[in-house]
């Protein structure tokens, strides 16, 4: 099969993924929280960013290599952390990590993934990042940081925008709990999705392996929460400072939307900021993340990483033009896994690269650093 003929865009992978996943899994992957207004604003904010095409530049040799936090990556984007990736496809974290290593782009493993840092140690290189939900217990905190280091992860990402469990009403309505339990209602959905069912039958239903050693005796979770919520806390500046001292490598804080928070993180010695509203999954009253990028860029000299609402190469260029240094995508790569299995990840990377190059060509730019100024677009345009 010519994948580019059958699935030329990320949206093609998304709609195939929806047809192949049980409804409760699809709702987990695709949903936001509330009425999903923030999720919609992420898309609208990016759609308002345009450029004026430029002509008469002749053939261009594109160079997409990007240097970030002392590493040179072949492309200006990477794979963002998604909790319980293994619910989307068996060995999802392994497939993502291996594809990222082959493409020389970052892969960020979630604390609440279905595989542990130790599971992925044979499959990662220096481009691997570890995302930390902040444990309340200092012994667990020290142990998690050391486990990530020993497994070979080079960059630590602290997520700060999940102080409490969000409602995620679509997920609740679907019947999914953590850890997943196949009730008769969910089994009926599984029966309609044979490819997913066969994969899970071979691997078993996933759970959060990283947290196994800390979870004895912890129970009574609400439907949208999981064991991680019983272990984590809402961090303080002192917490960030402790991690900065404890982690001997690049240290990123994820979940920043306020310019003044960027200034605070810079004072605390953070190496980069990750501008994100958690893709609309945590708070439904936030602006589109892209709206805040220029203000945060003006407030800090730190490198900026961006996610939330990114669906293609043009969106990546929009974020870079607004002040981001790098872009991460989560759902897109999981759509690819669900749609095509392991080969889907490499195909998604190829889609995004070709889309970036095509759009750069329209703008007369060989590199992202050559992007022209952005131009506001109205809905009618």
Catalytic residues: 278
Tokens representing residue 82 in the block: 């998604």
């Amino acid at each position: 099969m010519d994948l580019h003929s059958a699935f030329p865009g990320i949206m093609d992978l998304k709609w195939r993924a929806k047809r192949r996943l049980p409804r409760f899994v699809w709702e987990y992957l695709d949903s936001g929280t509330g009425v999903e207004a923030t999720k919609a604003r992420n898309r609208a904010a990016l759609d308002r960013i345009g450029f004026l095409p430029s002509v008469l530049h002749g053939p261009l040799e594109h160079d997409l290599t990007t240097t970030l936090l002392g590493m040179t990556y072949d492309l200006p984007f990477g794979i963002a952390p998604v909790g319980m990736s293994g619910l989307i496809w068996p060995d999802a974290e392994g497939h993502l990590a291996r594809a990222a290593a082959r493409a020389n782009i970052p892969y960020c493993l979630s604390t609440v993934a279905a595989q542990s840092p130790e599971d992925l140690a044979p499959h990662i290189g220096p481009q691997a990042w570890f995302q930390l939900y902040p444990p309340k217990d200092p012994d667990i905190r020290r142990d998690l940081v050391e486990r990530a280091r020993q497994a070979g992860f080079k960059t630590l990402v602290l997520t700060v925008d999940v102080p409490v469990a969000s409602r995620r009403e679509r997920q609740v309505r679907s019947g999914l709990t953590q850890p997943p339990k196949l009730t008769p209602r969910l089994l009926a959905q599984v029966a309609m999705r044979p490819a997913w069912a066969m994969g899970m039958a071979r691997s078993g239903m996933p759970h959060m392996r990283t947290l196994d050693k800390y979870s004895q005796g912890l129970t009574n979770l609400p439907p949208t929460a999981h064991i991680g919520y019983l272990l984590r806390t809402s961090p303080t500046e002192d917490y960030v400072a402790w991690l900065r001292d404890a982690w001997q490598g690049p240290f990123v804080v994820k979940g920043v939307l306020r310019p003044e928070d960027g200034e605070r993180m810079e004072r605390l010695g953070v190496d980069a900021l990750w501008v994100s509203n958690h893709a609309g999954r945590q708070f439904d009253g936030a602006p589109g993340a892209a709206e805040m990028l220029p203000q945060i860029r003006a407030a800090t000299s730190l490198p900026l990483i961006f996610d939330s609402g990114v669906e293609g190469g043009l969106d990546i260029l929009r974020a870079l033009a607004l002040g981001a240094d790098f872009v991460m995508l989560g759902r897109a790569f999981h759509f690819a896994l669900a749609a095509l299995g392991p080969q889907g990840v490499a195909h998604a990377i190829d889609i995004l690269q070709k889309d970036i190059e095509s759009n750069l060509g329209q703008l007369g730019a060989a590199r992202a650093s050559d992007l022209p100024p952005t131009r506001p677009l109205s809905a009618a345009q």
